Amino acid sequence: MPGHTRSRRRVACASKQQWPVVRKRYPDLLASFFGKARFHPKEYSSLTDTIIYRDTVMLFIWTAGPPLAVVIKSEDNAASYRNQFRFMWRHARK
């Protein structure tokens, strides 16, 4: 993780993250994080990570055995996921 964070800082790649319980369980993770973070109640937690970049959406499903990644390349789909993220971001705690 530290190497990944250094690389993101070098290329000025900021991100926005939403985590359910990281603040209490992993406080050191937030110290090394580069970007903005918000938090939502743990009853809304998800075992799937989503990355949205331009017209591509990547879903990482960690509970599958083995873990599974799905890549969707579609501008409409990316816009839909982006809207969903913005809604969640507005309703998450700082």
pLDDT tens-digit readout, 20-72? 555 566 666 665 665 777 777 878 777 788 889 899 999 998 888 898 999 99
For residues 2 and 34, state if they share a domain.
yes
How many C-beta neighbours within 10 Å does residue 50 have? 14
Q: What is the 3-state secondary structure (H, E, C) of 1-58?
A: CHHHHHHHHHCCCCCEEEECCHHHHCHHHHHCCCCEEEECCHHHCCCEEEEEECCEEE
CB-CB contact of 28 with 1 (8 Å): no
For residues 68 and 93, state if they share a domain.
yes
Distance CA(16)–CA(35), nearest Å, equals: 6
Pairing of strands 68-73, 56-61: antiparallel
Residue 34 belongs to what domain range? 1-42
pTM > 0.95: no
For residues 58 and 81, state if they share a domain.
yes
For residues 52 and 84, state if they share a domain.
yes
Q: Is the per-residue pLDDT at 75 higher than 90?
A: yes
pLDDT tens-digit readout, 1-17? 444 445 544 544 456 66
CB-CB contact of 71 with 56 (8 Å): yes
